[in-house]
Amino acid sequence: MNVIFLGPPGAGKGTQCKVIADRYQLRHLSSGDILRRERADNTDLGQKAQSFMDSGRLVPDDLIVAMMMKEINAADTNSGVVLDGFPRTIGQAEELDKALNAAGKDIDVVLCLDVDDDKLEHRITGRRSCSGCGAAYHITFNPPQVDGICDKCQKELTQRSDDTAEVVKNRIKTYHDQTAPLVSFYKEKGNLKNVDGNVAIEQVTQAMCDILDRVST
């Protein structure tokens, strides 16, 4: 089973993708995680993508499609993948369809998480991570015991450069301008399923599992 997750930044795609990947034995492919890894490793792709990521703009289609198809083709053909943060444009979606068709594969379902913009901004700007061990926090939902200090290793907590208020507003606008049309694209294909992402995490998970259970039977 191959699954796509759509939704704006901060909608909870990463959290839900991990749960779904474990439950249905799928390989979780996060375009954001892969790009950050490439950037940290200072690869050619990482260097090209860095300026786009830091300003909240989308990485060009040719870079992201080539990277993601390499990961998809490396996945276990007997299971499937859950795509997190990809595709983000109609161009990426069309190129993905061509590549999957050539490999004898298809997308079974597209889950679209819908979240209000004001909730998205609060979720993202409140995120913090440990500069030492990488532990994740949120100033409202999961605050550290001591402000700005990691509970586990006592290192300083930092905010990602693309999680600041100005960049977040741009990321959300970019989503509405360029990524939201994918909703219509996949709705016309007949495999789009909307999920309310404003509710509790457990409720979102249950709604998605109900959909995937029907698709997989």
Q: Which residues are catalytic?
A: 13, 88, 127, 160, 171
Contact 155, 103 (CB under 8 A): no
Spatial distance between the Cα atoms of 133 and 206, rounded to a whole number of angstroms: 31
Dihedral-angle region of residue 134 (phi above 0 means left; psi in -120 to 50 means alpha; beta otherwise): left
Spatial distance between the Cα atoms of 74 and 145, rounded to a whole number of angstroms: 41
119: CB partners within 8 A, 6+ apart: 10, 198
Q: 194 by DSSP, 3-state: which?
A: strand
Spatial distance between the Cα atoms of 192 and 111, rounded to a whole number of angstroms: 6
The two tokens of residue 55 are 């300003």
**Among candidate residues 179, 156, 134, 161, the one with its CA nearest the CA of residue 55:** 161
Spatial distance between the Cα atoms of 35 and 171, rounded to a whole number of angstroms: 16
Contact 8, 111 (CB under 8 A): no
Q: 162 by DSSP, 3-state: which?
A: helix
Backbone angles phi, psi at 6, to 5 degrees: -110, 155
